Each structure stands twice: as structure tokens, then as C-alpha cells.
Structure 1
Amino acid sequence: MSHFNKLNSSHWVLIAALLAAGYACFLLIEPYLNPIILAFIMSLLFAPLHNKISDRLPNSPNSAAILSCMALTFIIAIPLFFVFIAIVQQGATFSKDAYHWVIDGGIQTLFQHPFVAKVLSFINKYLPFDAIDPAEVTQKVAQLASQIGTRIVGMSAQIVGDVTNVLMNFFLMLFVLFFLLRDQDKIISAFRHVLPLSRSQEDRLLDEIEQVSKSAVLGSFLTAIAQGIAGGFAMWLAGFPGLFWGTMMGFASFIPVVGTALIWVPATIYLLLTNQWEWAIFLTAWGVLVVGSIDNIVRPLLMQGNSGMNTLLIFFSLLGGIQLYGLIGLIYGPIIFALTLVLFNMYETEFKSFLDQQDKN
């Protein structure tokens, strides 16, 4: 604290100028912040592999970093590319089958089902809604189905645009990752030097960033992958396109509260309406016992790590992260919460005597 008391006006001007320049630099990189942060997290996840490569190439840091980036591409990017192609193919087949089902009178057949007829009669008799006319609903669904070709073309153009954007961000992430892996010791040393914290506090802060970054990725994305695989396998057994709906389950797992039930509950209802009650019971049991247990057990276990965050904090960090930042918020939210807890613990330690004295007064 004595160092800050000695600061004169020129020091404060320098600090203010540095803050202004830092903010201007932040505005410059803000559009590319997500790939940069992902590169940082990937550098933590791939550090063990990179260290092994560096040990074999001690005099070639550039080559070691390039090989690590290539390993990331072959381990993650290329398999995802082929899975994406298969998903698009299954999705297109499903859309075409659904279109023909509607055109060939599938909606009319559905309304003629005894169970649907009873539910519809109950709704029209007791609930305060306008009466639902099956013929009107069938007509509107048929009109929507007739426009499905135009919608698919529009969605295809959007997917192409999204894929282009994803590829650009991926290559930008690789570019940043190369320098993070090559110069990681220099970057960490510089970071330690400019932080006005003790070495033990810096160690704690850096360890927490590494731990929470890893647990956020493992907790969110590995849980989504596990639920997608488990759910897709059950959907495939029940006669649905497994890869497509498994992927949809993986994405749905990021949605708080509802989760994968957004996919398997409608599928179960469809199976019941088509008199496949054995598969409906199987899919319900699998969704609750297997897929649900992955979310309720594996995610909190992976995400707690050493951050001291309980399940409630994890839930709100994920919920708030998605609300503020979108999908990437599944990583940002837990990191922000965990770093706040670490800084709060540092505050308690630094001002312990003062806080104890205040408790006595």
C-alpha cells in the first residue's frame, strides 16, 4: 500500500493513459474475443500433449507448436467435419420423410387416433381456449409443408454462412493457439510481472483459471457428448435417425431445466400414438435413468473441480452465461463465478485481522 501512497500526478496520468489505451485495444480485439479465449482454453487442455512434443523437439519451439495445432485439427476438427456431413444427410432425409408424411395424410390419421380424439374433445369442452378444428389444423400444417422446400433452401444458405464463420474462427483460434503454445512461458512470466499480487496469490489465481477452464469445457461439452451418444443410441434402437437426433439431444442438453427431454418426450409421444408402447416405455426409462443421470451426476462432478462451487452456483453460472454470451457463456459463466470466489477468498485472507476486529466491535 505504501507504493500507491507515493504515486505522484505523473504516475496517475500514466495509469489513466494506460487504462485508456488498454480499453482501446480491447475494442479492437472484441470482435475476435471468442476465438482468442477458446485458444487460451485449448492451450490449457492440450498442454500435456504439447509438452511431450516439446520434449522431443527441444530446439524447435515453432515446429512443436505447429505439430500441436495439427494434432488438435486431426483430433477434433476433421472428425467433427465428417459427423456434420452425416448429420446434414440424416436431417435432410428426415425433413423429406416428414414432408411426405404430411402430404400423404399423416396429420389426418393422427387426429383419428382414439387417444388424440379424447384429448381434443377434453380441451374443446373444459379448457378456456377457442375450439380446435382438426380440419383447420390439417390445412395449416399442409400449407407449412408445401413451403418446406423454400425453407430448406433458406436454412441451407444460413448453414453455409455459419460454417464459413465457424471455419474463419477456427483458423483464427489455431493462429492464436500457435503463439500461446510457443511462447507460453514468456506470456505467463509477463502476466505474473505486471500483476500487483504476491507470488502465492498469483499461483492461486492462475491455478483457478486453469482448473475452472478445464472443468467448464469438460463439464459442459463432455456431458453434452455423453448425453448425445446415449440418447442417439436409444433413438436409433427405437427406429429414429440416431446420429441426427443424438446431435439434437447434445445441443438440447445445454438448455437449463428442460435439457434432452425436449427431444425424447415428443419422440415418446409419437411412439405411443403409433402403438409402439414397448419402445415408448423403453425411451422414457432410458431418458430418465440413463440420459438424465449423466446430466445430474456427471456435469456437477466434472464442473466442481477445485473451484469450491456448489451445484446451485454452477446452475446460475451456466444460466446467466448463456443469457449474456450465448453458447460460449457455458465457459465464461463458470470462469467468472469461480474467479470471483477466489478474489473474495483473497480479500478475506488479506483483511482477516480487520474483519476479525470488526466482528468483535
Structure 2
Amino acid sequence: MLPEPTPHLRRDSKRALNVLLLLVSAALIVILLPFYGALMWGVIIALLFSPLFAWLMPRVGQRPSLAALLTLLVVLVIVVLPLGLIAASLVQEAALLYSQLQSGELNPALYFRGVFNSLPDWITSVLDRFGLVSFNTLQRRLTAALTQGAQVIATQTFSIGQNTFEFVASVFITLYLAYFLIRDGQSVSQALRRALPLTPEHKTVLLDTFTTVVRATVKGNLLVAAIQGALGGLGFWALGVSGAVLWAVLMAFLSLLPSVGAALVWAPVAVYFLLVGELGKSVALLAYGMLVIGLVDNLLRPILVGKDTRLPDYVVMITTLGGMAVFGINGFVLGPVIAAMAMAVWQIHISNQNGIPPAA
């Protein structure tokens, strides 16, 4: 009969297991890091569409594979295909804009001169202090900036074409992972609960916080961005602004930034209309931007994002900006999620310190 291991050996074994766990977890993170965006969106799709899966289950005879497949088909129809069509239109319009700039069909100098000649005296005096009172000097600098921007557009357009395989692979990984997470979501959730070395109450707080914040952030931000982008593009099209799809996508992207987003696009265009003497268009766009586009942000975002996440508006804005600065486009989700999880962990820590049960 083998002797029982001594406490010292048991401690060494536990320490070695912890080190091994840390090493294999770090190695797994390194392997999955190139696809973190695809994996993240797979988790998000599973969280957002799990209610649809639950609704389909009794209607397909409690067959989870079929219900998950039907759920994924809905995701393809209402999410993936529309985004693909918008991306194709955006690439086409960006390429057209670049070709017009290169051929001279679109001449920014004419617009610059009209704006420059319409400037009031106090603005030209400010420009004079910076050595920009000469139209030729101002034109050279603006043209150089616009040329650089056009080159960026061309590079990104070419990059999208070159990275088609990478994009398709990422979409495939996202949908493939989403399928299994939708189908096996309950077992995955239970495994996570067992793996977390926390009390059941603390596990519930953290997992519920994560789920709630992800759903609120994605549904709220994307819905607000889509509505603001669509309304902005429609307004630009009605006013005869060229490249309405391009501006709509840009407004939708900037709408991910709370409070200031879409105004960074429509406000300068309204000022431009004013300076070139299009007073009616300027007033119309200004009123439309504040009363229609801005109202969507002011009404829907607090209801869809801040209310469910229980985060103040300023925290949502700062963490969104910080997340996008660190993680790119994925940061509009990761920023608020990290902030909410940090606040939840601190609440757990404070409750433990003071012997108070964690808030539900």
C-alpha cells in the first residue's frame, strides 16, 4: 500500500499545477490572439441570438442542431448579407471618389476658393496669424491633405480586395463558433461557472454583468449607429451631397462615439453650405442634424446602452473612446465591457472587505 503524500508534496503538486495552468492558458491566448475579433463576435452573436434559439427549440421538436442552424441562417440574412452589401457599395464609392480626384473631374480647388472668398474678415485675420491668408498657400496645404486622404482611401480599398480571403476566413470562424455556442450555450455557461474559483453569488454577478453589458452595448450602439448613418445618408442624398453612402457609413462609424459622433460629419457640411451661400441647405441640414439625427442619439442611447449597463454616460463615452484607441473597431464593445467588469469586481472586493452580500 502506497503511503499518503505529505502536505509538502501536495503543496508542490498544487503549485506545479498552477504554473502549468498559467503556461498553457498563455500559450492558448497567443494561438487565438490573431482571431480574437472573430472569436469575440462569435460570442456576441451567440449571446444576442440565444433568445431566438430558445424560441425555436420547441418548434423544431427539441432538436438543438436544427434550431442553431436556423438561428445562424437568420444571422446571415439580417446581419452578414446587409453588411456585405454595404461594404461592397462603400468600396465602389470610395474607388469612384479616388478616380474622380485623380482624373480632375472632382476639383477641390474650386470648392476651396468659393469657401475662402466667402470667409468673413475675422476668420481671415485668424488665418493671417497662421500664415494662411493667401489662398494659394491654403490651397496647397488643403490639396496636400486631401491627396493624402485620397491615397489612404485607395490603399484601404485595395487592402479590402487583397484581404478578401482573410475577411472570409474571419466570418467563417465567427459563424462556426457562434453555431456551437448557440447550440451548446447552456453547457458552456455551466462549465465556466464551475471553472471560476469564486462563490456562486460572485459568479452570478460577473456572468450576468458580462452578458448584460455585451447585449446592451452591441444592440444599443449598433442600432443607434445604423439609424443615424441611414438618416444622415438620406439627408445628404436629399440635399444633393455626392457620395451619400460613403458619408452615411462614416456617420454610422462615428456614431459609435456617444454625443459627438455623427455631428463631426454633418456639422462641417452645414458650415460649408453657409459659407458658399447655400443658406437654405445650411439651415435645413443644421435643423435636420440637431432635431432628427441628434435626437436619435439623445433618446435611444441612454435607454439602450446606459440604462442596462448601469454605467454613467461619461463612463460609456470615455471607455468607448479608450477601447477603440486600443482595440480598434472592436473597442466599442470591449471598452464598456472591461469598465463594467472592473466595477463589478471592485464591488465584490468591497463587499468582501465589509462583509456585505454582493448586489444582484
Q: TM exceeds 0.5?
A: yes
Q: State TM-score, norm by structure 2.
A: 0.84
Extract unaligned runs of 5+ from structure 2.
1-8
Deviation at 1:119, TM superposition (A): 5.9
Counterpart of 1:358 in structure 2 is: none
Which letter maps to 2:90?
Answer: I
Counterpart of 1:100 in structure 2 is: 105
Counterpart of 2:281 in structure 1 is: 279
Counterpart of 1:308 in structure 2 is: 310
Extract unaligned runs of 5+ from structure 1.
1-5, 356-361
After superposition, the CA RMSD in angstroms is 3.1
How far, CA to CA, are the matches of 2:323 and 2:150 in structure 1?
Answer: 35
Percent sequence identity is 25
Helix, strand or coil for the counterpart of 1:46?
helix
Helix, strand or coil for the counterpart of 2:309?
coil
- Aligned pairs for 1:51-90 (under 5 A) are 51-58=54-61, 60-90=63-93
Determine if the alignment matches structure 1 residue 10 to structure 2 residue 13.
yes
Deviation at 1:217, TM superposition (A): 0.4
Which letter maps to 2:105?
Answer: H
Helix, strand or coil for the counterpart of 2:198?
coil
Q: Does the 8 Å CA contact 1:102/1:141 hold for their aligned counterparts?
A: no
- Aligned pairs for 1:1-361 (under 5 A) are 8-58=11-61, 60-95=63-98, 99-102=104-107, 106-107=110-111, 109-110=113-114, 113=117, 115-116=118-119, 118=121, 121-123=124-126, 125=128, 127=129, 129-138=130-139, 154-240=155-241, 241-255=243-257, 258-353=260-355
| 1:312 to 1:147, Cα distance in 2 relative to 1, 3 A | closer
Q: Does the 8 Å CA contact 2:115/2:275 hold for their aligned counterparts?
A: no
Which letter maps to 2:67?
Answer: A
Deviation at 1:312, TM superposition (A): 2.1
| 1:116 to 1:57, Cα distance in 2 relative to 1, 3 A | same
Deviation at 1:252, TM superposition (A): 2.0
| 1:143 to 1:264, Cα distance in 2 relative to 1, 3 A | closer
| 1:140 to 1:22, Cα distance in 2 relative to 1, 3 A | closer
How far, CA to CA, are the matches of 1:352 and 1:146 in structure 2?
Answer: 61
Which letter maps to 1:238?
Answer: L
Deviation at 1:228, TM superposition (A): 0.6
Q: Does the 8 Å CA contact 1:120/1:132 hold for their aligned counterparts?
A: no
Of residues 43-52 and 343-352 in structure 1, the stretch that sits farther from structure 2 once superposed is: 343-352
Of residues 31-40 and 160-169 in structure 1, the stretch that sits farther from structure 2 once superposed is: 160-169
How far, CA to CA, are the matches of 1:163 and 1:283 in structure 2?
Answer: 37
How far, CA to CA, are the matches of 1:107 and 1:269 in structure 2?
Answer: 13
Which letter maps to 1:349?
Answer: S
Q: Does the 8 Å CA contact 1:253/1:259 hold for their aligned counterparts?
A: yes
| Corresponding pairs, count | 346
Q: Does the 8 Å CA contact 1:256/1:319 hold for their aligned counterparts?
A: no
How far, CA to CA, are the matches of 2:217 and 2:62 in structure 1?
Answer: 34
Q: Does the 8 Å CA contact 1:102/1:145 hold for their aligned counterparts?
A: no
Deviation at 1:57, TM superposition (A): 3.1
Which letter maps to 1:197?
Answer: L
How far, CA to CA, are the matches of 1:316 and 1:141 in structure 2?
Answer: 31
Which letter maps to 2:342?
Answer: T
